[in-house]
Structure 1
Amino acid sequence: MSNIDEFLNLVKDSDNIVFFGGAGVSTESGIPDFRGADGLYMSKYNGLSPEEIISHSFYLRHPDVFYEFYREKMLFPKAKPSTTHLALAKLEKMGKLKGVITQNIDGLHQMAGSKNVVELHGSVHRNYCTKCHKFYDMEYIFKSKDIPKCSCGGVIKPDVVLYEESLNEDDIYKAVDLIRNADVLIIGGTSLGVYPAAGFVNEYRGNKMVLINKSKTPYDSKADLLINDALGEAFKHLL
């Protein structure tokens, strides 16, 4: 039996599946990852590292540069859900998938139809005035000039977790609870090198951990089923 067949059998036999995903879920939608060979972090931006630009302190000091980078490198308004996004939404609708835990901020899981999504690092689709807390969508930010301002005059901040910021406590609780109670845990498209998010997989108590990733991860030896391939190659069989 091939690894893909074994994966499909695990999915078929379970109605308590949880998916934990990273950038590899969205690269198939044309969104570049951060740490790959051609990733966002592999080149400087006006002499600055991307990690520095998308830090909380840099945002406060230089919101003009932050937003220039943010619009150019982190917003993809034309992106559509990939095969994996669509397959996960289908599994949830069937009652087999209990939740998606994502490190991505693009909102493509919801666009595909997923309802129970824990966005550990926030979402580009939620933006709030730092003064009056009025909500603004991604399109407003994308089309705005320089530093986006609210109608009240306050600066608008994206609801994404920047470097130096903590994860939302409610999201942490939801993610850990889903993982601890999962029958099958599918981890996909992540190098499992970003903490604290990557450490959440240690909360899994079962023996059906599926790890699907093109490259090696620190958790390969802990996986009950390891598939070194693109996510779409595995999930296309579920559509």
Structure 2
Amino acid sequence: MNEEAYKQLNEMIRTSHHIVFFGGAGVSTESGIPDFRSKDGLYNQHDVAFDAYSPEYLLSHDCLVHHPDVFYEFYRQKLDARGIKPNRAHYKLAEMEQKGKLDGVITQNIDGLHQLAGSKNVLEVHGSTLRNYCDACGTSYPADFIFNTKKGLPTCPKCGGLVRPDVVLYGEALPSQTWSDAIDLIHQADCLIVGGTSLTVYPAANLVDYFRGRYLILVNKGETGYERRASLVFHDSIGEVFSHIEV
């Protein structure tokens, strides 16, 4: 990408007053967390124990209910983000917020890396692996609770109910308040930066349609369906692009 494009990027950021970032799996891949749909992604990692099921089923409400032993084994093996560190993009977004140049982050990721990097206003539309709760009594438990339950099902010490991750599974609705807050944030934005997402996962991808501001900036290695609407497009790693942002 030429220097002129980075100059345009910084000029758009400089002249904007309400910037919002909306990100997907590609934001975390540089931290070592696989995305879901690339050729090396989570959905294309083969494990004999899980080959009988589709990846979507393994992370579905139906699997949790009907095959909980399979669900929790897959979850513990594939979605443990403890010990993973934020990358350049996470830290740059936190810096932008701290300097008053970013209103907030809307993320499809469930790894908590934005908060670990220092971002405060983070809307997690798909939930987080760092939170768990009892499906029966609602008691909250930390991330370690499920991951440290090596065998069998994680049950609530208080009532014996099943402790599940606070993650939106296939077949479940997005958290209504978080979704509403995300729409409001995008409505108020004059600059929306979309990064690390192909914008093919719905309903989250619909959030871009609520943007009515001046600048739409897309950062993704592959093409998206919104490029004709964009003010600026980068087909590069988000860490590389964000390393050129000056705030």
Query: TM tier, shorter chain?
Result: over 0.9
- What root-mean-square deviation, in Å, do the aligned CA atoms of Structure 1 and Structure 2 show? 1.2
C-alpha displacement at 1:43, in angstroms? Answer: 4.3
Q: Structure 1-normalised TM-score?
A: 0.96
**Aligned mates of 2:245, 2:112 — CA distance in 1:** 21
Count the aligned residue pairs: 239
Q: In structure 2, what is the equivalent of residue 144 of structure 1? A: 149
Q: Indicate the SS of the match to 1:211.
A: strand
**Aligned mates of 1:197, 1:84 — CA distance in 2:** 20
**Aligned mates of 1:180, 1:98 — CA distance in 2:** 12
Given candidates 21, 24, 33, the residue that maps to 2:23 is 21
Residue-by-residue CA offset, 1:90-140 (whole Å, 9 max, x unaligned)? 111111100100000000001111111110000001100112211111112
Q: Does 1:217 align with 2:221?
A: no
**Aligned mates of 2:15, 2:114 — CA distance in 1:** 23
Q: Does 1:52 align with 2:57?
A: yes
**Aligned mates of 1:119, 1:158 — CA distance in 2:** 13
C-alpha displacement at 1:78, in angstroms? Answer: 1.3
Q: Does 1:81 align with 2:86?
A: yes
**Quick one: which amino acid aligns to residue 21 of structure 1?**
G
Any conservation in 1 of the 2:89–2:243 contact (CA below 8 Å)?
Answer: yes
Q: Indicate the SS of the match to 1:3.
A: helix
**Aligned mates of 1:235, 1:16 — CA distance in 2:** 18
Q: Indicate the SS of the match to 1:237.
A: coil
Any conservation in 2 of the 1:4–1:227 contact (CA below 8 Å)?
Answer: no
Moved more, 186-195 or 140-149: 140-149
Q: Indicate the SS of the match to 1:97.
A: coil
Q: In structure 2, what is the equivalent of residue 204 of structure 1? A: 211
Given candidates 169, 179, 186, the residue that maps to 2:193 is 186
Q: Does 1:232 align with 2:234?
A: no
Any conservation in 2 of the 1:14–1:183 contact (CA below 8 Å)?
Answer: yes
Given candidates 1, 4, 21, the residue that maps to 1:2 is 4
Q: Indicate the SS of the match to 2:38.
A: coil
Q: Indicate the SS of the match to 2:206.
A: helix
Any conservation in 1 of the 2:59–2:170 contact (CA below 8 Å)?
Answer: yes
**Aligned mates of 1:238, 1:26 — CA distance in 2:** 18
- Identity over aligned residues, as a percent? 52
Q: Indicate the SS of the match to 1:133.
A: coil
Unmatched 5+ stretches in structure 1? none
Q: Structure 2-normalised TM-score?
A: 0.93
Any conservation in 2 of the 1:120–1:171 contact (CA below 8 Å)?
Answer: yes
Q: In structure 1, what is the equivalent of residue 77 of structure 2? A: 72
**Quick one: which amino acid aligns to residue 86 of structure 1?**
Y
Q: Indicate the SS of the match to 2:202.
A: coil
**Aligned mates of 2:15, 2:29 — CA distance in 1:** 29
Q: Indicate the SS of the match to 1:20.
A: strand
Given candidates 102, 116, 119, the residue that maps to 2:107 is 102
